[in-house]
Amino acid sequence: MLAHRALLSTVVVFGFATVAEAETKEIDHTFCGVAATSTIVPGEDHGVYHTSFHGVISADNASDPLNGTTGRCDVMHEWSGAGGDHIRTVGYCVATDLDGDSVTMLSERDDGGVASYTILRGTGKWEGATGQATATPVALGKRDATGQNVICSQLDGEITTP
């Protein structure tokens, strides 16, 4: 009976020690990507176009958990009217780290150009991650050495890993 109590005490004490607590870290970085755009539904009064861009996330703060990851986004933009009034922009982005683990995010943009990102799922060390961020454009319309359009945004938010 005494041996049972000792074993039970050991399981209880060490069983709780293995439970990891969730960790929340600040996202504060710039994402610059090369963009390619194509028109899906052309029209004078209504249209949809697709933008695909990819690049590397770089942070001044080395503790930003996404620093150094590569990112790829595919988004659809809908507009109407002769002036090209924005209706909605929705898409998906994937950030992949050097280990090959990734975070998939939903991207939605408002009329002011600010995008919100919500983490949908993760793989590897990002499995079970949650979080949100906003992205404000900081450089639009620039061209890289090959003449491709470059888009840079400042992302601010947080990510929680289990």
Q: How does residue 82 score in pLDDT terms, banded at 50, 70 and 90?
A: low
Report the Cα 58 to chain-centroid distance in Å: 13
DSSP 8-state symbol, 17: H
Please calculate the CA angle 63-65-66 and round it to the nearest 5 degrees. 125
Please calculate the CA angle 162-90-76 and round it to the nearest 5 degrees. 135
pLDDT (tens digit, 9 = 90+) per residue, 83-129? 678 888 899 999 999 899 999 999 998 877 788 999 999 999 999 99
Instruction: Please give the radius of gyration of the chain, using alpha carbons only, rounded to the nearest integer.
Output: 21
Rounded Cα distance, 95 and 20, in Å: 24
Report the Cα 66 to chain-centroid distance in Å: 9
Q: What is the pTM of this model?
A: 0.75
Closest residue by Cα to residue 154 from 24, 61, 28: 28
pLDDT (tens digit, 9 = 90+) per residue, 59-70? 777 778 888 889
Please calculate the CA angle 141-120-24 and round it to the nearest 5 degrees. 90
Rounded Cα distance, 144 and 147, in Å: 5
